[in-house]
Amino acid sequence: MIYSIRHRTTLLYEPAVRESVMEVRLQPRNEGAQRCTRFQLEVTPSTHIMEYRDFLGNAVHHFDIAPAHTQLEVQALSLVEVRPVQPPDAASGGDWADLDAAVANDDHWEMILPSHFARPTQALNALAGELNCQRRRASPLELVTELNQAIYRLFAYVPNSTRVDSPIDEALRTRQGVCQDFAHIMLALLRPLQIPCRYVSGYLFHSDDAEDRSLEGASHAWVEALLPGQGWTAFDPTNNLVGGSRHIRVAVGRDYADVPPTRGVYKGETQSELRVAVTVSASELPPAEPGVPATVVRSRPVLVPSFARLEQEQQQQQ
């Protein structure tokens, strides 16, 4: 399947701010069954955009806008091919000894330790007891599948019920949240069992026949667990899905703190408004030919007024 993705982030300031510094993680990854064949990043006001790869291989674009401005717009256009993947097979899945051997032979400690948003709490321990997952049992694949289903069953998907920086205890207390919360809860349940698992930010294509709880017009988040005989396997507790050709991966990290789509600071005493619009559609365009550059970085000039000071982080709610 080939997908066309448009992700537009607009920040409005009143009065104007002076200087914005921002980094974005919006370019889909190019690995496994997924291939990002075209990527275009546009920023207004005009600026010089630079790029680097972070410690997990995510593409990060960053820029500095020095003149005063009342609006900042970042638009990412992507064309991504995702080939069908086979669902995890219990017959070829290994046991806990196989998992321990795989972990011992590679460096996965960052995906086993607690992280900023995925860490044990009293409320999480109570949920682990309720789900009988405080200790290893069954096989790794069976246990991860069971937890994926349990989070879907026990938690209601309620947009705007939590904030982008909410600790997992908020969702645990109310039994409601969004995809970011459910991914963090699942990570926090799996890591004490020494199952390497990571947070994935990206998009979900909503087909006409799918019964997804997550909303169109927004980015999405899910979990990948390292399983013996399967490798990194995607689980989507928001929609009770095993990752497949509808999941489009942008960035991976220990949790959301590693992979926000946009993050930045500005100078100025101002009121700000964040608007995000995401469109994911099936595309009839063929993938780019090998050797054709896949990335275009474009910056459009705009006239802006002059003003103000202060510093604040802006992040996108999923």
Given a cut of 70, whether residue 304 has pLDDT beyond it is no
Q: pLDDT: is 303 or 83 the higher one? A: 83
Tell me: the pLDDT tens digits for 166-202? Answer: 999 999 999 999 999 999 999 999 999 999 999 999 9
Q: What is the mean pLDDT of residues 148-177?
A: 97
Res. 317: pLDDT tops 60: no
Q: Token pair for residue 271?
A: 């009121």
* Domains delineated in the chain: 2-82+260-299 (2.60.40.2250), 96-243 (3.10.620.30)
The verdict on whether omega for the bond into residue 15 sits within 30 degrees of 0, i.e. cis, is yes
* Nearest C-alpha neighbor of 34 from the set 4, 6, 57, 1: 1
Please write the tens of the pLDDT for every residue from 85-103: 888 888 778 999 999 999 9
Does the pLDDT value for residue 311 go beyond 60?
Answer: no
Q: Which pLDDT belongs to residue 288?
A: 55
Round to the nearest angstrom and report the end-to-end CA distance of the chain. 24
* Cα 102 to Cα 97: distance, rounded to the nearest angstrom: 9
147 vs 195: CA distance, rounded Å: 13
According to DSSP, the residues that pair with 59 across neighbouring strands are 53
Residue 115 pLDDT greater than 50, yes or no: yes
Region 281-302: what's the mean pLDDT?
Answer: 58
Mean pLDDT of 102-122: 94
Give the tokens for residue 74.
Answer: 């970042």
pLDDT digit string, tens, across residues 42-51: 999 999 999 9
Q: b/e map of 175-198 (b: 16 or more CB within 10 Å)?
A: ebbbbbbbbbbbbbbbbbbebbbb
> What is the tens place of the pLDDT at every residue in 268-289?
999 999 999 999 999 866 655 5
The most confident of the ranges 66-70, 88-92, 207-211 is 66-70
Share of the chain above pLDDT 70, in %: 89
pLDDT of residue 29: 97
Mean pLDDT of the chain: 90
Residue 211: predicted pLDDT: 87
Checking if the pLDDT of 308 tops 60, the result is no
Q: E strand or H helix at 96, and its extent?
A: helix 96-104
The predicted pLDDT at position 217 comes to 87
Q: What is the mean pLDDT of residues 57-86?
A: 96
Rg (CA), the chain: 20
Strands (E), 178-230: 197-204, 220-227
* The pLDDT value given to residue 139: 94
What does the pLDDT read at residue 92?
79
What pLDDT score was predicted for residue 105? 87
Of the chain, the percentage scoring pLDDT greater than 90 comes to 80
Helix, strand, or coil (residue 227): strand
CA distances from 198 to 127, 176, 227, 234 (A): 20, 21, 12, 9
Q: pLDDT tier at 314 (50, 70, 90 boundaries)?
A: very low
